[in-house]
């Protein structure tokens, strides 16, 4: 009897969980981690308690993201004590920095595996080693290279897929840690990208989002005669894929040719995420962004001319070193002039090792908090106004799934990437439907499905 139990336990399917912080690139890397684990025979766990392997994919773009990871690791101590066979792995952007990797092992000695952003192809071996070793297995590769093609991917959705087009970043904005933890920019070969998207179409995927820190510079350094606009044109021809999105666009590299191509390609959606960061030329120069506020404003006007109905969203930061009240007023003024559909707004946070960390004139926390409050209030007012104007309009919506906050409701996105929530039944998931917008709120639109599309 006892023996049978042991056997049954051994045969139980081993389970895994990935926990992800940070941007879509990290979300996608977690899909690769999941793909590798599933190839090893693991199945997704519903809860942390039932997992045999927990992989935490970390972000270090701001300290708040790092603190969340420390908090989580602290909470996992008890779980590990109750289940010594549990493997806890920490990977991603935070651990790519050697000093942080060391700190994690010191502070959380029950962590079994630490790896960086370049180690995904070796994950299987690393997990195997962690299972056999008494000590933490640490592997960081400081030489950056693009991920090899053909790694398994276990995608979270069956309808929408992320597809990486460029790795790394060459821009070195002075506040930003990303180039140090993700390496130099490198484009994937177009034939590999197109093959991946054709496979997705064959599996029934309807939408792809092309990922890169700066998608507009796609193709630089490749032997192929191709730029980002050319890549969009090629993807447009793939049957089955009905929507094409991309992020992030750098304002400096947005060409007129790209606007023309976006307006011509019917599958390319009318949404541009165009981080501005600041509205003052002095601050933009110190950030090394490579454009002026005048150039940015002109770019927005031109994009709106070429792509009618386009939604423009952005990232903005307050409290960059040396930012004065006048500089901040310029940011507010730009926000009022552009009228972004929505914005991610951040307090500048010192990232050790970046040029801005050593700049004089670091702004006091209290001033930063006051500025972000004013900025958020202003942008929220604008977002609400814009969303209210959607009331009565009809949008073509790709249904993503059941709403996270209310199981009676479905959620989906408009072509302009606005979240729409509406009553409906599960069979609509993965389908395109027409939705009439009843109410425009700050974070989403509320709608009703039109009869003819049911």
The verdict on 351 binding ligand SAH (CB under 6 A) reads: yes
Min dist. Cβ of residue 191 to ligand SAH (A): 25
- Choose from ligand SF4, ligand F3S, ligand SAH, none: what does 210 bind? Cβ within 5-8 Å by kind: none
The verdict on 173 binding ligand SF4 (CB under 6 A) reads: yes
Stretch that binds ligand SAH, among 137-145, 343-351, 365-373, 415-423 (CB under 6 A): 343-351
Q: Which of 33, 76, 153, 178 binds ligand SF4 (CB under 6 A)?
A: 178
- Choose from ligand SAH, ligand F3S, ligand SF4, none: what does 179 bind? Cβ within 5-8 Å by kind: ligand SF4
Considering beta carbons, is residue 24 or 453 the nearer one to ligand SF4? 24
Stretch that binds ligand SAH, among 80-88, 171-179, 181-189, 278-286 (CB under 6 A): 171-179
Is there a contact between 335 and 378 (Cβ–Cβ < 8 Å)? yes
* Window 170 to 189, contacts with ligand F3S (CB under 6 A): 177-178, 181-182
* Window 376 to 435, contacts with ligand SAH (CB under 6 A): none
The verdict on 233 binding ligand SAH (CB under 6 A) reads: no
Q: Which of 15, 188, 245, 250 binds ligand SF4 (CB under 6 A)?
A: 250
The verdict on 153 binding ligand F3S (CB under 6 A) reads: no
Considering beta carbons, is residue 238 or 359 the nearer one to ligand SF4? 359
- Choose from ligand SAH, ligand SF4, ligand F3S, none: what does 433 bind? Cβ within 5-8 Å by kind: none
Contact string 108-147 vs ligand F3S (x = CB under 6 A): ----------------------------------------
Min dist. Cβ of residue 409 to ligand F3S (A): 30
Is there a contact between 93 and 181 (Cβ–Cβ < 8 Å)? yes
CB proximity list for 125: less than 8 A, separation 6 or greater: none
Min dist. Cβ of residue 116 to ligand SAH (A): 18
Is there a contact between 316 and 344 (Cβ–Cβ < 8 Å)? yes
Min dist. Cβ of residue 187 to ligand SF4 (A): 15
Contact string 202-221 vs ligand SF4 (x = CB under 6 A): -----------xx-------
* Window 57 to 96, contacts with ligand F3S (CB under 6 A): 59-61, 93
CA distance linking residue 284 with residue 171, whole number of Å: 13
CA distance linking residue 386 with residue 47, whole number of Å: 39
Q: Which residue is nearest to ligand F3S (CB)?
A: 22
User: Strand 432-440 relative to strand 445-449: parallel, antiparallel, unpaired?
Assistant: antiparallel
* CB-neighbour burial class of residue 382 (10 A; exposed 0-12, middle 13-18, buried 19+): middle
The verdict on 340 binding ligand SAH (CB under 6 A) reads: no
The footprint of ligand F3S (CB under 6 A) covers 22-23, 25-26, 59-61, 93, 177-178, 181-182
Rule CB under 6 A: which residues touch ligand SF4? 169, 171-173, 176, 178-179, 213-214, 250
């Amino acid at each position: 009897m006892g023996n049978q139990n042991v056997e049954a336990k051994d045969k139980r399917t081993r389970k895994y969980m990935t926990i992800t912080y940070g941007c879509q690139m990290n979300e996608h890397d977690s899909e690769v981690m999941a793909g590798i684990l599933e190839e090893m025979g693991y199945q997704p766990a519903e809860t942390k308690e039932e997992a045999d392997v927990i992989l935490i994919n970390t972000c270090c773009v701001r300290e708040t993201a790092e603190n969340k990871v420390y908090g989580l690791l602290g909470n996992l101590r008890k779980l590990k004590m109750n289940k010594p066979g549990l493997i806890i792995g920490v990977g991603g952007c935070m651990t790519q920095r050697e000093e942080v990797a060391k700190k994690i092992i010191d502070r959380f000695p029950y962590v079994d595996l630490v790896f960086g952003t370049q180690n995904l192809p070796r994950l299987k071996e690393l997990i195997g080693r962690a299972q056999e070793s008494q000590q933490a297995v640490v592997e960081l590769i400081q030489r950056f290279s693009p991920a090899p093609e053909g790694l398994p991917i276990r995608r979270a959705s069956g309808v929408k897929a992320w597809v990486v087009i460029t790795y790394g970043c060459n821009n070195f904005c002075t506040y930003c840690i990303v180039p140090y933890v993700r390496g130099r920019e490198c484009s994937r070969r177009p034939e590999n990208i197109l093959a991946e998207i054709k496979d997705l179409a064959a599996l029934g995927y309807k939408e792809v989002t092309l990922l890169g820190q700066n998608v507009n510079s796609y193709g630089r350094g490749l032997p192929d005669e191709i730029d980002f606009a050319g890549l969009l044109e090629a993807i447009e021809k793939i049957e089955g894929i009905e929507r094409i999105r991309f992020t992030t666009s750098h304002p400096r590299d947005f060409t007129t040719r790209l606007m023309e191509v976006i307006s011509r390609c019917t599958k390319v959606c009318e949404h541009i995420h165009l981080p501005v960061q600041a509205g003052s030329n002095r601050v933009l120069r110190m950030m090394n962004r490579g454009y002026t506020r005048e150039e940015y404003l002109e770019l927005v006007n031109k994009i709106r001319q070429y792509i009618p109905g386009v939604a423009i969203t952005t990232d903005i930061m307050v409290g960059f070193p040396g930012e004065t009240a006048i500089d901040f007023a310029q940011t507010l003024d730009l926000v009022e002039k552009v009228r972004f559909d929505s914005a991610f707004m951040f307090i500048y946070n010192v990232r050790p090792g970046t040029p801005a960390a050593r700049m004089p004139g670091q702004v006091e926390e209290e001033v930063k908090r006051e500025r972000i409050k004013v900025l958020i209030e202003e942008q929220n007012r604008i977002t609400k106004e814009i969303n209210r104007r959607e009331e009565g309009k009809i949008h073509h919506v790709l249904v993503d799934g059941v709403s996270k906050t209310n199981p009676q409701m479905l959620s989906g996105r408009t072509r302009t990437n606005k979240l729409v929530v509406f009553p409906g039944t599960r069979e609509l998931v993965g389908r395109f439907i027409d939705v009439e917008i009843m109410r425009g709120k700050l974070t989403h639109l509320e709608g009703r499905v039109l009869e003819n599309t049911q």
